[in-house]
Chain A
Amino acid sequence: GESVGLHLPTLSVQEGDNSIINCAYSNSASDYFIWYKQESGKGPQFIIDIRSNMDKRQGQRVTVLLNKTVKHLSLQIAATQPGDSAVYFCAEIVSGNFGNEKLTFGTGTRLTIIP
């Protein structure tokens, strides 16, 4: 079936360096993607989103890149800080059966920032 998955389950980055988290998706009909950050013991927190008519979107210290040709999504975090340590999920929006939309999450990548 259609799924959203991640290449790397864990990633360790030196504080101050940049990090890149990758995500592959298989549903070619998806037109909207979101990156979430989940800290230990907490619910997912929205980071940044991108629509399929874009290939890049920037936020504060974060950039999301979308390559529709190879169905690949990435999250770049610049100048990482200890507070960036968390699990990061990509999620795609799929249409529900009743006109609603629902999130399909990938497995997640655990990012650890080394002081």
Chain B
Amino acid sequence: NAGVMQNPRHLVRRRGQEARLRCSPMKGHSHVYWYRQLPEEGLKFMVYLQKENIIDESGMPKERFSAEFPKEGPSILRIQQVVRGDSAAYFCASSPTFGGFTDTQYFGPGTRLTVL
């Protein structure tokens, strides 16, 4: 009964490098959400994806950030040419239904990205 899995849990990159964050949703879940959390702040919505489709990317920075959720495999959040301001915790959540809430959006443990 695995929950949402994210890897790596910790990622260190130097400025200018690329960061790839992976999220495996709960079994049977086809909706994935990515959030970013800066220290001492709440989570900020980035993007909502379904299999092979980006549904809502209104929270994604216009440049350097991209996300995908292929038919097979985990969802990937990709940050190109990282800068120090990208240092944050990135959380993935999954749900089994369209946009449904209450307790149907389950969060992973997060990936903590540090940019040196």
Contact = CB atoms under 8 A, between A and B. Distances in A.
Given A45-B107, A103-B45, A107-B41, A34 B101 contact: yes
B55 interface: yes
B43 interface: yes
A42 interface: yes
B56 interface: yes
Interface in B30-66: 33, 35, 40-45, 48, 55-56, 58-59
Contact of B110 (A34, A42, A49): A42
B72 interface: no
Contacts of A104: 45
A99 B40 contact: no
Interface in A76-95: 89, 91, 93
B25 interface: no
Given A44-B43, A98-B56, A49 B107 contact: no
Interface residues of A, number: 27
Interface string B68-109: 000000000000000000000001010000111111010111
B108 A43 contact: yes
Interface residues of B, number: 27
A101 B40 contact: no
B33 A102 contact: yes
Given A101-B101, A102-B45, A107-B40, A41 B109 contact: yes
B106 to A, nearest CB: 8
Contacts of A107: 40-42
